[in-house]
Structure 1
Amino acid sequence: MTTEFAQDVERALTEAAGALRRRQHPDGYWKGDFETSLIGEAAEVMLRHFLGIRDEEATAATVKVLLAEQTPSGGWASYHKGPDELLLSTFCYVALRLAGCAPEEPALRAAARAVRANGGVEAIDNPTMLAWLALIGLWPWDDIPLIPPELVLLPPKAPGSIYRMGAAARGIVVANSLFMAGRPVTPASFGIEELYARPGGSARRLPRPRAVRAATALSHLYARHPVGFLRRRAMRKATRWLEDTQERDGGWGGNWPQTANVIVGLIAAGHRPDHPVVRSAIEALDQYVVHKDGRRRLEMWTSVVMDTALAVSAAAMTGDAGTRAAAHRAVPWLLDNQVTELGDWAVLTEDPVPGGWPYEFANDANPDSDDTAFAVAALRRLHPVGSDPAVDEACERASRWMLSQQCADGGWAAFEPLRWRLPGRDALARIGFLEAPSADITGHVLEALGADGRAGSPAARRGIRWLRDHQHPDGSWPGWWACYHLHGTSAAVTGLTACGVLGTDPAVARACDWIVAHQQDDGGWGEDIRALHDPAWIGKGDSTPSQTSWALLALIAAGRADGEPVRAGLDFLIRTQQDDGDWAEPWHTWVVHHDGLYWRDSMLRLVYPVMAMSAYLAATGAGERR
C-alpha cells in the first residue's frame, strides 16, 4: 500500500461520509428511494378503476411516467437495460388504455406489437397477476386457480395452513381468497384483442403443469358448490383476520401490494369504501407516492429500517467523529422501531420472544431476520456488549428472536423458518409464496451473532455448517434477495469470518478466489439480473458501486486487504465517485420476486462504498489517523 493511494481512499471516504450525513432525516433515520419497475404505477391505475376512485391528476402523472420509460422496442423492461417483459408491458398498456389513451396512438401501437412479439397476453404464466386483469374484465376468472377462503380454517400446523406460507405472502393469500370467492368485476370499456399473438385470439389455459390445471378445475368446481356453512365461516374469519392485522399506518405489511390486495378483498367481502378499515387503508396508499424531480412514482415498499441500519454501520465504521455522531442520533429511532409484540411469526414458534425489526416503517406483524441482523450489527458497532444497557437489552431480544427463527437445517430465511416439505416448493418460493433459507440471510445473521458475542453459540455453529454444506463446487453461494452469487458469496464470507472462521479456511478461500475471478476489467464487480435465469450471466455484468463494495468487504474480511484486487476495486470506486460524494447506480441489483420484480435503492450505492473504504483503511492501519 502506498501512502498516496491511502490518501486517495481517505479523501473519497471523507466526501462520501459528508454525503451520508447530509442524507440523514431530522428524525435520525435514513431512507433511500425504493424503485422497482412500473408494475406498481400500472396496478395503481387498475386498482383505482376497480374501486371507482379515479384521480385525474394522479392518472395524468402516471401516464407521463409510463410513456417516458417505454423502451425503443415498445414495451417496458423490469430492470435497467433489460428486455421488454411481457407481464409488465401488458399492465402498462392496460393502464394507458384505462387512462384514456387510444390504441391507435403510436406509443400504444408499439406497445401492442411488443406484447405480441413476446408471445402475446395469452403467454403470461402468472395466474396471481392475471387476477388483476380479471378484476377489470380483461381476463376470464375461469382460467385462474382460485384460493379458497377455507384455508383460514385449517389448524396452524396443518399442511396448507396460512401459517405454513411465507410471511410476505400470507396477507395477500388471505385477501385474494376473499375476492376470488366473489370474483368481482368492474369492467373496462375496452377489450385487449390486439394483445393476442394469434389473430382472433382469446384467453386459453395457461401453459401450466397438469397438476396445476387440475387444481384450477377443482378450485372452480368447489367455488360453484361450496359447503355453505364452511364458506360463510371462512369469509367471516378471513375478514376478521385482515382487520386484526391492519398496521397502525392503515396498511398491511408496510407495503403497497399487500395493502392494495387487502382493500380489494375486503370490498369483495362486503365492506363499503367508507368502512373505517377500508377508508384508512385507501388513505394509507398515498404514503407510497413519491414526488421527485417533477415525476410521480410509487414506492411499493419502504426500505427505511434496512437503510438506517446499514447507514449506521457505515457511519460507525468511518471512525470520523462527526459521522459517528450522526450514527448515534439514529440509535433512538432504531430502538423505538424494534418490534416488541407478538405477530404472525409467533404462531408456530416455540416460546416466542418478540424483538425483531421489520423492513418498513410499519410492519409489526412480520419482522425479518435480515433487517434484524443489520440492526444488531449496527448497534454493536456503536455500543459493544456491556457498554449500554438499552442497546444490550434490545440486542438480547433481537438475538433470541433470530435464534427462534433458525430453520431446522441450520440456515435462515428472511421471515420465518421454512415449513413446507411438499413438491413444488421451489416454484412457489420464486413467486414469494414460500421462502427457503439462503446464503445471504444466513451470512447476515451470522455477522450479527458474531457482533453480539454469540459466534460460538450452537446456533452459529449450525449456521456455519449450513453454509459449508450449501457452497457450490466453484466456491460461490447464490443469494436470494439481491443479485445473485456475488451477494450470496460476499454475505457468506463476512458472516463466516465474523464468527471466527479464518480467511485461510478452504471454504472462505475458495469463495474469495471465486470473487477475484469475477472481477471486471475496470476493477469493479457487477452481476446482472439475468444471472437469476441464465447461468451464463452468473458473476457477470456492468460494474456497480454497491456490488463492488460487497466484493471488497468480503475480501477484506478474509484478510486480503493488501491484495491487488482490493486496490483495483477501491480505485474503481474512487474513479466513479461523483462531485457530491455519492455514486450513480441505475442498475436493479435487489430482488423481490425472482420471476420479474426487482428493485434498486439510492441509499445503498452510497452506504456500501463507505463501508468498504472504511474497512480497507481499518485493515491496513491507514484509518488510525482518522
Structure 2
Amino acid sequence: MTTHPTRAGRLRTAIDAAAHHLLTTLHPDGTWYDTRPALVPGTAAAVLALHTADPEHSAALVRRGTDWLLRTRNPDGGWPVTDSGPSNVIATAGAVAALHLAAPAHTTEAVRAGLAHLDHHGGVDGVADPTVRRLTGLLLALARLREPTTVPSVPTALLLLPTPLIRHLLSLLITPFAALTLLQHRLRPGPLAGRTTATATTILRECEQQEGGVGSLGSGDPWLTGLAAAALHQAGTAPALVRATVAYLRAHARPDGSWVLMHGMTDRDVDLVGHSLATEALCHAGHRTDPRVRRAATWLLDCRQTGPFPLFDCPPGGWAWSGAQGWPNVLDTTAALGALAATRSHGQILADGARWLRSRQDRRGSWSVFTPNTRCPADRSCPHATALAIDLITAAGTPATDRAVRRALRWLTVHAHPDGSHQALWHRGGVPATAAVLHTCTRLRLTDTPLAGHARAWLLAAQLADGSWGAAPATGPGTTDETARAVQALTHLTDDPVARTAAARGTDWLLAAQRPDGTWEPGPACWYIKDHLAYPDHLIAQGLALGALAAHHRTAPPGAHG
C-alpha cells in the first residue's frame, strides 16, 4: 500500500532540501557563489573599453567578447539584457556600438540588423528616460553610427554646482553622469568642456578610490566600469585610472567572453542581499546555531563599512551590495541587519545599524536608497526601502509611537497608489514593496489601518489563478521571487483565514516549482535600470523561497498541514 506524505511532510521536506542546498554550497569563507547572468550591456561596455583603451594587450578578450555578443543576438536583430530574453533598446545600442567599433570587418550584418531593430521600435529617440536616451545616443555617436549633434545634450553645467547640490540632484547617477560628460565633450566640445572635464575626472577618480582603489566603479559593475574607462581614455585624462579600470575588466572576464552583472569586490560573484536573505532564511528554518550559518553571519559583519563614503555624504556603519568597499545604501543595510537580527547574537550591531538608518531618513519621513532628500528620479523616496527601514529600527527597540516611525508610516499612507499598492525602486511590479508594507504593519500590530488593509486587498487581488504572484497583477507569469514575498507577508496574518488560504496556495505553488536539487528558478524580478533592464538573481530567489516556506510552516496552526 502506497503512503502519500501529508502536506506538512512535503513542506518540511522542501524546507530541508532547500536548506541542505544552501548549507552545502556555502564556501569555507562564509560566502555563496551567486550565479548571476552574463550581461549584454556590461559585456558591450567592457569590449568597447578594452578595444578603445587597450587594443593590443586585450585583443583576445575583445575577440571573445564580440563573439559572445554575436552568439547572444536575438532572431529579431536585437539583443537581450542577459544571455537570453526579449530584445532591449539599451542592450541593443550597446552591442551595436561595441561590435561596430571593435570588429567592423565581420559584424556588418549584425550591426545593420541591430540598427534596423532599433528603428523599428522607435529608435533611441523614442526612449522616454532622458538619461537612457543620452547614453544610447552617445554610444552610437562614439561608434560613428550617429551624428553627435543629434544626441540630446548632457547638462554638463550641473558639475559646476556646489558638491552638496550635485549630490542632491544626481545621487547614484553622479558617476555615469560624469562618464557621459566626458563622452559628450569628446564628441561635441563645448565652452565648459575644460572645467567640467576636470570635475568629471575627479568624481570618477574619487569613486574608484572609495571603492578600494581596485579599478572598479559601481562596486564591480562592468557596464559602469567599462563606460568610465572608455570615456576617460577618449578624454585623454587620468591615464592611471584608465589602466586600473582596464586591469579590473581584464581580471573579471569570463572564459566564454562575457562579463557578469555586478561582479563584486571579491574573487567570486557575491551579492549581499542574496547572501543576507539566505542567511536569514536558514535561521528561520532551524539552522541558527549551525557553524556554517555563523560563518555567513560573520562575513556580513566584516562587510560593514567602517569609514564614511563622501560621494553620498554617508557616515560609517552601512552596507553595500558587494562587500566592505562599495556604495552603502538602505536596501543592503536593511538586508544585512535582518540577517544579523535572525541570528539573535548581534544586538549591538542591530542598534548601531538602526541609528545609521535613522540618519538616512529624509525630510519627508521616507527613505530613498542612496541619498536622503534627493531629487534624482533613479533614487527618489522608495516605499520598499521605507517599509524595510521601519521594520529594522523597530526591531532594534524603537517603539511604533516614535516620531520617525510615525512620519514614515504617514508617508507610506499618503503615497500609496489608488489601488493600495506600492512600487519599489529596485524590484519590478507591485509585490515587493506592497508585501513589505503589509509585513511591517503586521509586525507593528497595525493590521486594522487603511495602509495595511489596502495592501492586503491588493495582494489578494494580484494572486494568479495557479496560486503564484508576478509583476503583472492577475495575468502573470508568476515567479519564485514575487510569490515568496507575497506568501511571507500574508502568512503572518494568522487570524485572517482569507489571507492564510492565499498564502497556502502560494506555498503549494512554491512546493511544485522546487527543483530536485532543492532550488528554485529565479525570475527577472530585480531592476538594473528601472523600467529598462530587469534580471534574475539566483541567491535572492533561494533565500526568499526558503524564508517563505519556513514562515508558513512556523505560523501554521496545529492540524493545518494535514
TM-score of the superposed pair, with normalisation by structure 1: 0.78
Conservation of the 8 A alpha-carbon contact between 2:46 and 2:249: no
For 2:473 and 2:153, how far apart are their aligned partners in 1? Answer: 36
8 A contact 1:546–1:609 mirrored in 2: yes
- 2:271 counterpart of 1:304: yes
What does 1:582-601 correspond to in 2, within 5 Å? 582-585=519-522, 587-601=523-537
Equivalent in 155, 158, 177 of residue 162 of structure 2: 155
Cα distance, 1:144–1:297 mapped onto 2, change above 3 Å: same
Q: Tell me by how many angstroms 1:12 deviates.
A: 0.4
Instruction: Tell me, in whole angstroms, the C-alpha distance in 1 between the residues paired with 2:180 and 2:87.
Output: 28
CA drift of 1:153 comes to 4.0
What is the match of residue 503 of structure 2? Answer: 566
Query: 3-state SS of the aligned residue for 1:598?
Result: strand
1:604 matched to 2:537? The reply is no
- Which deviations, in whole Å up to 9, do the C-alpha atoms of 1:377-432 show, x marking residues without a partner? 1111112xxxx5xx334333322221111121111111111333xxxxxxx62xx3
Counterpart Cα distance in 1 of 2:518 and 2:41: 32
Measured in 1, the distance between the counterparts of 2:324 and 2:228 equals: 16
CA contact (8 A) 2:53 2:246 kept: no
Give 1:251's aligned residue. 216
- Which residue pairs with 1:85 in the alignment? 88
Counterpart mapping for 1:250-269 below 5 A: 250-254=215-219, 255-269=221-235
Counterpart among 182, 190, 204 of residue 242 in structure 1: 204
Letter in 1 for 2:360: Q
Q: Measured at CA, do residues 353 and 74 of structure 1 come closer, stay the same or move farther in structure 2, by a change above 3 Å?
A: closer
Counterpart Cα distance in 2 of 1:310 and 1:565: 23
**1:110-189 pair list within 5 angstroms:** 110-120=113-123, 123=126, 126-147=133-154, 151-157=158-164, 161-183=165-187
1:555 aligns with: 490
State the identity %. 26
Q: 1:363 to 1:524 in 2, by over 3 A?
A: same
Q: 1:111, CA displacement in angstroms?
A: 4.1
SS at match of 1:465: helix
Equivalent residues in 2 for 1:471-486, closer than 5 Å: 471-486=416-431
1:319 aligns with 2:271: no
Deviations 1:205-257 (A, max 9, x none): xxxxxxxxxxxxxxx7xx5434xxxx655544543443333221222231223
Amino acid at match of 2:280: S
- Structure 2 gap segments, 5+ residues each: 265-269
Counterpart residue number, 1:438: 382
Instruction: Tell me which amino acid in the other structure corresponds to 1:487.
Output: P
Cα gap change, 1:60 to 1:372, in 2 (>3 Å): same
The match for 2:406 among 440, 452, 461 is 461
Q: Deviations over 1:437-481 (max 9, x none)?
A: 121111111221232222433222221111111222322112221
CA spacing shift, 1:103–1:24, aligned 2, 3 Å = closer
Q: What residue in structure 2 maps to residue 522 of structure 1?
A: 466
Give 1:419's aligned residue: 374
- Please state whether the residue corresponding to 2:230 is helix, strand or coil: helix
Contact 2:72 2:84 in 1 (8 A): no
Distance 1:90 1:280, change over 3 A: closer
Question: CA–CA distance in 2 between the matches of 1:453 and 1:335?
Answer: 20
Change (3 A) 1:622 1:285: farther
Question: 2: CA distance between counterparts of 1:286 and 1:25?
Answer: 25
RMSD value, Cα: 3.1
Task: Please give the alpha-carbon distance, in whole angstroms, between the structure 2 residues aligned to 1:170 and 1:556.
Answer: 41
Q: Which residue of 1 aligns with 2:300?
A: 334
* Equivalent residue for 2:516, pick from 579, 584, 592: 579
What is the CA–CA distance in structure 2 between the aligned matches of 1:232 and 1:85, rounded to whole Å? 35
1:367 partnered with 2:313: no
CA shift, 1:577, in A, is 0.8
Equivalents in 2 of 1:311, 1:581: separation in Å?
13
Question: Which amino acid in 2 is paired with 1:252?
Answer: L
Contact between 1:149 and 1:235, CA under 8 Å: does it hold in 2? no
Q: Deviations over 1:281-325 (max 9, x none)?
A: 21122454345xx67443245452112211111111111367x43
1:55-87 per-position Cα deviation (integer Å, ceiling 9, x unaligned): 344344334433443333332234798643334
**Counterpart in 2 of 1:493?**
438
For residues 87 and 259 of structure 1, what CA distance do their matches in structure 2 show? 16
3-state SS, counterpart of residue 34 of structure 1: coil
- Whole-angstrom distance in 1 between the partners of 2:262 and 2:380: 23
Runs of 5+ in structure 1 lacking a partner? Answer: 184-219, 421-427, 528-536
The aligned residue for residue 49 of structure 2 is 47
Query: How much has 1:169 moved relative to structure 2?
Result: 1.1
Is contact 1:148–1:180 with CA below 8 Å preserved after alignment? Answer: no
Cα distance in 2, alignment partners of residues 121 and 502 from structure 1: 46
State the SS of the aligned residue for 2:528: strand
Amino acid at match of 1:582: T
Task: Give yes or no for contact 1:316–1:327 (8 Å, CA) kept in 2.
Answer: yes
Given that 1:93 and 1:108 are in contact with CA atoms closer than 8 Å, whether structure 2 keeps it comes out as: yes
Distance 1:150 1:281 in 2: 26
Residues 583 and 606, structure 1, Cα contact 8 Å, conserved in 2: yes
C-alpha deviations, 1:135-184, integer Å up to 9, x for none? 33333322334446654442234xxx32113432112222333343343x
Tell me the secondary structure at the aligned position of residue 6 of structure 2: helix
Cα pair 1:486 1:547 within 8 Å, conserved:
yes
Separation in 2, partners of 1:26, 1:618:
29
Corresponding residue SS for 2:398: coil
Distance 1:240 1:546 in 2: 39
User: What SS does the corresponding residue of 1:6 show, helix, strand or coil?
Assistant: helix
**CA–CA distance in 1 between the matches of 2:332 and 2:325?**
12
Residue 534 of structure 2 aligns to a residue whose secondary structure is: strand
Using the alignment, how far apart are the partners of 2:77 and 2:482 within structure 1? 30
Q: Does 1:409 align with 2:354?
A: no
Q: What is the Cα deviation at residue 336 of structure 1? A: 1.4
How has the CA–CA distance of structure 1 residues 39 and 561 changed in structure 2, closer, same or farther, with 3 Å as cutoff?
Answer: farther
CA contact (8 A) 2:78 2:118 kept: yes
Contact 1:288–1:299 under 8 Å retained in 2: no
Contact 2:78–2:87 (Cα < 8 Å) also in 1? yes
CA distance in 2, matches of 1:266, 1:81: 31
TM-score after normalising by structure 2: 0.87
Q: 2: distance between equivalents of 1:235 and 1:114?
A: 34
Note if contact 1:478-1:489 (Cα within 8 Å) is conserved in structure 2.
yes
What secondary structure sits across from 2:19 in the alignment?
Answer: helix
Alignment correspondent of 2:267: none
* Residues 1:62 and 1:224: Cα distance change in structure 2 (over 3 Å): closer
Q: Is the 8 A contact 2:318 2:333 kept in 1?
A: yes
> Aligned residue for 1:61?
64
CA distance in 1: counterparts of 2:181 and 2:254, whole angstroms = 30
Q: Which amino acid aligns with 2:275?
A: T
Quote how far apart the aligned CAs of 1:269 are.
4.6
Matched, 1:447 2:391: yes
Return closer, same or farther for 1:450/1:143 CA change in 2, 3 Å cut-off.
same
